[in-house]
Structure 1
Amino acid sequence: MGLHEPDAVEMKQVAAMFGLHPLAVEDSLTDHQRPKVEPYDDMLFVVVKTLWYVEERDEVESGQVSVFLGQDFVVTVRQGAGVSLAAVRADLEAREHLLGFGPAAVAYAVCDRIVDGYEEVAAELEADVDEVEASVFSQDRTQDTQRIYVLKREVAEVRRAVQPLRVPMQRFAAATYPFVPAESANFFRDVADHVTRVTDVVETLDMLLSTAFDAHLARISVQQSEDMRKISAWVAIAAVGTLVAGIYGMNFDHMPELHWRYGYAWALALMVGASLVLHRVFKRSGWL
C-alpha cells in the first residue's frame, strides 16, 4: 500500500488494519525525521529522505518516504513531492525474481530508486562545484562567496540524507534485520555500495568547497594588496608634483628660480620628468 501525505485519520485506519506501531505511525506523519531503521516486534520501520535537484534555483529539495515492513505487508508513506514510487511496481513486475523475497523486495526497490536519485543529485552538485572552481581561479574578479555558501548548504542537505543510511544499509546487506531474507542480501549490498559512493562524493565536494572558499578569500586579499600598491604608486607620483609646487610656492626672497625667465618651464619639466621616472620604476617593479 502506498500513501502520499495522508492525514492522521487515514493513518489511524491503516495502522489498525496492519497493526502498525503508534510511535512509527507518528514519525511517518512528520516530514523532518532523520533517516533511520527501527525494528519493532512484528514490523520494521524505515525512514529514507528523498532528494531532487531544482535546476532553476541550483538547490536541493528533500522529502521523506517511510516504509512499514512486515511479514506479509509493506506500507509506504511519502511526504513531499520527492521521488515518485509509481515506477517501483513496474520495476518489480519486470524483475520477477525479486518477488520471491516477499515484502523485502518492495523495500529494496524503494531504497534503490531513492538512492539512485542521490547519485543524480550528487552529479549535479559536482557540476556546480566545477563551475565555482573555474570561477574562483579565473583571471576575472568574481564574487563567489555567496555561491560557495549556498552550495555548502546544499551539500550539507545531501549529507544529512545519505550519511545516516550507511550503517543501516550495511545491515540490510548482511540480512541482520527481521523480515529480510538472506537471499536478498546481494541486492541490498548494491544499494549499500551506492550509498557509500555518494557519501564519499559528498565529503569530497564539501572539502573542495572549503578549499575554494579559502582560495577565494586569498585571491581577494591579493587583489586588495595589488590595489593598495597601485594606489600608493599613483600617490607617490602625484606627490612629486606637489613637492615641486610646494617648494616654489614658498615665495622666499632669495630663490633664484623665481625670477628666472625659464623658471616656470623648468618647474613643469621637473614635475613631468620626475613623474615619468617614478612611473617607469613602479612599472618595472610590478606596482603598476
Structure 2
Amino acid sequence: MKKRERKRPLRPGMPPGSLVPLDKELTDTVSIQVIRYNDEHWEEETIGSIADLPPLDPAMKVTWINVTGLSDIGLIRQIGVRFKVHPLILEDILHTRQRPKFEEFDAYLFMVMKLITSRGVDSEMEAEQVSVIFGERYLITFLESADAVFEPVRDRIRKDGRIRTHPSDYLAYALIDLIVDNYFVVLENLGEKIEFLEDDLLTRPDPATLSAIHQLKKDMIFMRRSVWPLREVISSLERSDSPLIHQETILYIRDVYDHTVQMIDAIESFRDIIAGMIDIYLSSVSFRLNQIMKFLTLIATIFIPLTFLVGVYGMNFQYMPELSLPWGYPVLWGVMIVIASGMLVYFSRRGWL
C-alpha cells in the first residue's frame, strides 16, 4: 500500500479513525443499488443495508454497488469493514470537497472525481463528488445525490453491451468516460452563454452583463480546478502497475486522457475569450463615456459665444448704443441663432456630431 502524503487534523474530541461529514449538510436519503453481471446474465436490486448484500458471487464477473447519499455514517463504516477499506479513504468519501485524486492499494484502487452538470444555457452549474473504489470483481461508487448521469452505463449493462464482457476496471473506465463526456456538455452550454454575452457587449452592455461575465469566469475557474487534477487521475490510472488494470482497458483509458486534454484546451480558450470580454466591456463603457463627454463638450462649445453675447448685453451700462435700437433684441437673437447654426454645420461636416 502506498503511503499517503498528508494527514488531516481531527476535530477536538474526535477519536482517530472517526468518520464525520466535514463540509456541508448531506442529504438524508440513502439508497444502495446493486448490479451484478457476467457475459450472459445480469441482476439488479435495491437493498436496505449493507448487511443485505450477499457475498460476491463467483459466477458474476462484476458486482457494482452504488451508494447514493452520504448521511448514514454507519453504512459507510460497514462498507469499509466489509471490503477492508482504509479509514482515511472512508473519511475522504465523506469529505465532499476533495480534490480529484487517485490512490493505489494492494486490494483496490480509489478515485475521487467531480461530477459537474448543467441542465441548460440558463441554468447554473451543479457539482458533486463521486468516489470510486474498485477491486477484483467489484466496484463501489459513492454519490451525494441522485445519479441519473450514470443511467447510460446501466442501460449498456442491461442491453448485453460490451461492458459485460470486461472486468471491473472497464466499468470504472465507463463511469470516468461518462463524467468526462458530461463535462463537454457543460462546456457547450458555457460556450452558448459566451456567445449571448458577446452579442450583449456589441449592443448595449450594462452592469448585469459584467456580472454575468464574472460568473462565467468563476465557472471556468471551477471547471479548470476540476479538470486539471482529473487529467492527473487518469494519467496515474493509465500508468498504474496494479494487476487490477488490464492492458486492454489501458487503451480506453488513454482515449479518455486525450479527451481531458481537449477539454483543457477548450477551457483555456474560453478563459482567454472571457478575459477579452472584460476588456471589451471596459472599452465599450469608456467609449460610451467618451461619446457622452464629446456631446456635452460640443454643446458647451456652442454656448460659449452665446454666453459671451448675453454677458456683454447684460452689463448695466447706461450708454450702450444697441440698447436704444428698436430692433436690437431681435437682431441679437438672429446673431445668436446664426452663430449656433453655423457651429452645428461646421461640427457636422467635421464628423464630430
Tell me the alpha carbon deviations over residues 167-221 of structure 1, each in whole angstroms, 9 at most, x when there is no partner.
2213333454551111111111221122111111111111100001101101111
Deviates more, 1:237-246 or 1:190-199: 237-246
Aligned with residue 51 of structure 1, among 112, 116, 128: 116
User: Does 1:263 find its partner at 2:314?
Assistant: no
Q: Which amino acid aligns with 2:68?
A: H
Out of 266, 273, 276, the position equivalent to 1:211 is 276
Q: Percent sequence identity over matched residues?
A: 29
Greater mean alpha carbon deviation, residues 206-215 or residues 254-263: 254-263
340, 345, 350: which is aligned to 1:275? Answer: 340
Q: Does 1:201 align with 2:269?
A: no
SS at match of 2:95: coil
**By how many angstroms is 1:146 displaced?**
0.8
1:62/1:82 contact within 8 Å kept: no
Change (3 A) 1:195 1:176: farther
Pair 1:103–1:26, CA change in 2 (3 A): same
Asked whether the equivalents of residues 39 and 178 of structure 1 are also in contact (C-alpha less than 8 Å), the reply is: no
- Tell me which amino acid in the other structure corresponds to 1:46: M
1:2 corresponds to: 66
With over 3 angstroms needed to count, the CA separation of the structure-2 counterparts of 1:85 and 1:32, relative to structure 1, is: same
Does residue 172 of the first structure (1) align with residue 237 of the second (2)?
Answer: yes
1:39 aligns with 2:129: no
Partner of residue 79, structure 1: 144
Per the alignment, residue 70 of structure 1 pairs with 135
Counterparts in 2 of 1:141 and 1:90: CA distance versus 1, 3 Å? closer
Quote the offset at 1:141 in angstroms.
4.7
1:253 is the counterpart of 2:346: no
C-alpha change, 1:58 and 1:286, in structure 2 (3 Å) is farther
Q: Find the partner of 1:227 among 292, 300, 325.
A: 292
TM-fit CA distance, 1:106: 1.6
Match of 2:317, SS? coil
| 1:105 CA displacement | 1.4
| 1:39 CA displacement | 1.2
Q: Name the CA shift for 1:141/1:254 in 2 (closer, same or farther; >3 Å).
A: farther
Structure 1 position 56, deviation (Å): 7.2
Aligned residues: 287
What SS is found at the alignment partner of 2:149?
A: coil
Q: CA 1:168/1:275 → structure 2, altered by over 3 Å: closer, same or farther?
A: same
The question of whether the paired residues in 2 share the 8 Å contact of 1:45 and 1:68 is answered with yes
Worse overlay, 208-217 or 79-88? 79-88
Shift, 1:263, TM fit:
1.1
Letter in 1 for 2:69: E
The CA deviation at 1:282 is 2.3
> Does the CA-based 8 Å contact 1:59-1:154 persist in structure 2?
no
Q: Return 5+ residue gaps in structure 2 as ranges.
A: 1-64
User: TM-score w.r.t. structure 1 length?
Assistant: 0.92
Name the structure 1 match of 2:221.
156
TM-score normalised to structure 2 length: 0.76
